[in-house]
C-alpha cells in the first residue's frame, strides 16, 4: 500500500436518505478512511445497497420528531473505533490532497478539531464569487468532545431529521484549526430536489429569524461576535441582517453584483435568483410565525375520520 493510498485513522460519518445519485462519488472519495458509517433514514432507493457494495457500515436512524437529530444521535451511539470523526454529506467529496492534509494534522495533534472549507458547485460550475465561499464547517474533530448545537427549532415541523445549519460545539481548550484544502460540494440530483431541500431549510431559517427578533437568540452556545471565528462573525451579521427590509433584493444584489456573481456565468445568475427566492420564502414563513400561528403546525391539519 502506497503512502497516498494508506488508510487514515478516521471514522467517516455520512447521514443519508434516498441518495443513490450522490453516494457512489461520495464513497469513492472517502475510501481512504479507516472506517465508514452511513446513517440512513429508511431510504426507499438503492442507498443501502450501494453502501453495502462498498463495504460501508449501514445503521438506521428513527427520528422521534424533536431531539436528537441524526448526527448527534450517531455521535452518541455509533461504535467508532477511531478517535477522530469526519462528517461528510452525500453530496460532498474529499479530495486526495485533503486526505493527505487530514493525515498530517492528525499526526501533529495540535488541535482537537479542524474547519474545512467547501466549494459549492451548482449546475456543474463552481460558484466561486456569488455564493458562500469561503464556507467553513467544523467537520473533523475528536468525536468524544464534539456535539452539534441545539438551536431550539423542534416546534417547527418539516425541517428534516438531520442537522444542516447547526454547528459543532467543541469542548476543548485547544480549539480548532483551519485546513488549507477544500472539500467539494456538488449535488448530482435535479433542481427539483434543490428546491425541495431549500423549502425545508426555509422553515428552519424562519424560526431562527423569529428567535432573533423576539429576543430568544439562536439558542446555541457558539455565540455571535464580529471579532470571533467565521461562524461567530456570521451570526453577528445575521442579527443585523434579520432586521433589514427588502432582504430578497438585497440578497440578489449581494450575491450577483457585490460578490461578482456575474463572473460565475449563467449558473451564477440562476443561483443568485434562487437564493433571493429562498430569502423571500423565509420572510413569508417568518410572517406566518409572527402573525399567523405556528409554522406548519400539525394540529391545524384536517384529521382523518373513518366514520
Rounded CA separation 8/99 (Å):
8
pLDDT of the residue at 164: 80
Q: Where in the chain is the domain with CATH 3.90.550.10?
A: 8-189
Residues 6+ apart with CB under 8 A from 107: none
Distances 190 to 45, 118, 145, 284 between C-alpha atoms, Å: 16, 20, 37, 25
Report pLDDT for 155. Answer: 67
**How high is the pLDDT of residue 92?**
97
pLDDT attached to residue 234: 82
Task: Give the Cα separation of 132 and 119 in Å (integer).
Answer: 9
pLDDT of residue 217: 60
Between the two ends of the chain, the Cα-to-Cα distance in Å is 68
Residue 297: its pLDDT value, please? Answer: 54
What's the CA gap between 32 and 249, in Å, rounded? Answer: 44
Can you count the helices (H) and strands (E) in the chain? 8, 12
Task: Please give the pLDDT value at position 67.
Answer: 82
User: Span 8-189: which CATH code?
Assistant: 3.90.550.10
At CA 28, angle to CA 22 and CA 30, rounded to 5?
A: 100
Report the distance separating Cα 69 and Cα 67, nearest Å.
5
pLDDT in tens, the chain (307 residues): 444 568 999 999 999 999 999 999 999 999 999 999 999 999 999 999 999 999 999 999 998 887 888 999 999 999 999 999 999 999 999 999 999 999 999 999 999 999 999 999 999 999 999 998 999 999 999 999 999 988 777 667 666 788 887 889 999 999 999 999 999 999 999 999 999 999 999 998 998 898 888 877 655 567 777 777 777 788 888 889 999 999 999 999 999 999 999 999 999 999 999 999 999 999 999 999 888 765 555 444 433 343 3
Whole-angstrom distance, CA of residue 84 vs CA of residue 109: 11
Amino acid at each position: 500500500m502506497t503512502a497516498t493510498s494508506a488508510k487514515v485513522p478516521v471514522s467517516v460519518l455520512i447521514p443519508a436518505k434516498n441518495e443513490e445519485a450522490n453516494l457512489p462519488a461520495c464513497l469513492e472519495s472517502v475510501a481512504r478512511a479507516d472506517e465508514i458509517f452511513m446513517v440512513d433514514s429508511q431510504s426507499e432507493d438503492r442507498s443501502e445497497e450501494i453502501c453495502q457494495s462498498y463495504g460501508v457500515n449501514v445503521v438506521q436512524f428513527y427520528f422521534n420528531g424533536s431531539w436528537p437529530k441524526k448526527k448527534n444521535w450517531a455521535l452518541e451511539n455509533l461504535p467508532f473505533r477511531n478517535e477522530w470523526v469526519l462528517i461528510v454529506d452525500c453530496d460532498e467529496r474529499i479530495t486526495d490532497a485533503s486526505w493527505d492534509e487530514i493525515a498530517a494534522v492528525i499526526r501533529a495533534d495540535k488541535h482537537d478539531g479542524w474547519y474545512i472549507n467547501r466549494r459549492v458547485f451548482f449546475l456543474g460550475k463552481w460558484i466561486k464569487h456569488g455564493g458562500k465561499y469561503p464556507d467553513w464547517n467544523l467537520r473533523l474533530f475528536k468525536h468524544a468532545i464534539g456535539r452539534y448545537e441545539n438551536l431550539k427549532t423542534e416546534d417547527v415541523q418539516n425541517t428534516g431529521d438531520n442537522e444542516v445549519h447547526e454547528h459543532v460545539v467543541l469542548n476543548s481548550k485547544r480549539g480548532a484549526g483551519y485546513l488549507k484544502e477544500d472539500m467539494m460540494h456538488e449535488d448530482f440530483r435535479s433542481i427539483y430536489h434543490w428546491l425541495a431541500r431549500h423549502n425545508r431549510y426555509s422553515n428552519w431559517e424562519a424560526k431562527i429569524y423569529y428567535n432573533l427578533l423576539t429576543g430568544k437568540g439562536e439558542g446555541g452556545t457558539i455565540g455571535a461576535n464580529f471579532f470571533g471565528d467565521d461562524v461567530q462573525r456570521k451570526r453577528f451579521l445575521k442579527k443585523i441582517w434579520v432586521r433589514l427590509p427588502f432582504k430578497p433584493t438585497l440578497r440578489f444584489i449581494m450575491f450577483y453584483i457585490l460578490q461578482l456573481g456575474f463572473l460565475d456565468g449563467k449558473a451564477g445568475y440562476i443561483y443568485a435568483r434562487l437564493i433571493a427566492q429562498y430569502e423571500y420564502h423565509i420572510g413569508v414563513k417568518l410572517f406566518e410565525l409572527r402573525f399567523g400561528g405556528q409554522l406548519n403546525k400539525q394540529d391545524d391539519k384536517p384529521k382523518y375520520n373513518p366514520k
